[in-house]
Amino acid sequence: DQQVKQNSPSLSVQEGRISILNCDYTNSMFDYFLWYKKYPAEGPTFLISISSIKDKNEDGRFTVFLNKSAKHLSLHIVPSQPGDSAVYFCAASARTDSWGKLQFGAGTQVVVTP
């Protein structure tokens, strides 16, 4: 049962333009969301997170938007740079799960072209 879905397996964007990655979830108990970035042959690294009490969180070029009613979140990267080429995973957790278990989406491969 896939509770976190990233329906776009890949995204190609030109350098300097905006990258928009989407993520949908089905479990209404999820109230904390994270984005991880993964380069080949490396483990995922934390990028940005958002709590359900907010609808936007910004960190430099990265902004995450949360639409609770639609059970949808998105990650915006502006401007996109070649070093942003990686796989991006959306993950979700429920604060009622005191152990912090994360459910991951399947990932979106981003390719930033010059």
Partner 1 sequence: EAGVAQSPRYKIIEKRQSVAFWCNPISGHATLYWYQQILGQGPKLLIQFQNNGVVDDSQLPKDRFSAERLKGVDSTLKIQPAKLEDSAVYLCASSFIRGIYEQYFGPGTRLTVT
- Give contact residues for partner 1 (rule: CB under 8 A): 4, 6, 9, 32, 34, 36, 41-46, 49, 89, 91, 93, 95, 98-102, 104-107
Q: Quote the least distance from Cβ 1 to partner 1, whole Å.
A: 11
Give the CA count within 13 Å in the CB-facing half-sphere of 39. Answer: 6
Q: Quote the least distance from Cβ 91 to partner 1, whole Å.
A: 8
User: Which CB, 6 or 85, lies closer to partner 1?
Assistant: 6
Nearby residues of 56 by Cβ (< 8 Å), 6 or more positions away:
50, 63, 64, 65, 66
Please give the Cα distance from 32 to 53 (Å, whole number).
Answer: 9
Q: Kindly tell me the burial class for residue 62, based on how many C-beta atoms sit within 10 Å of its own C-beta (0-12, 13-18, 19 or more).
A: middle
User: Which CB, 41 or 70, lies closer to partner 1?
Assistant: 41
User: Which CB, 44 or 64, lies closer to partner 1?
Assistant: 44
User: Which CB, 69 or 98, lies closer to partner 1?
Assistant: 98
Q: Quote the least distance from Cβ 79 to partner 1, whole Å.
A: 25
Q: What does the block give as tokens for 53?
A: 């009490």
Q: Quote the least distance from Cβ 52 to partner 1, whole Å.
A: 11
State the Cα torsion 79-20-58-33 to the nearest 10°: -150
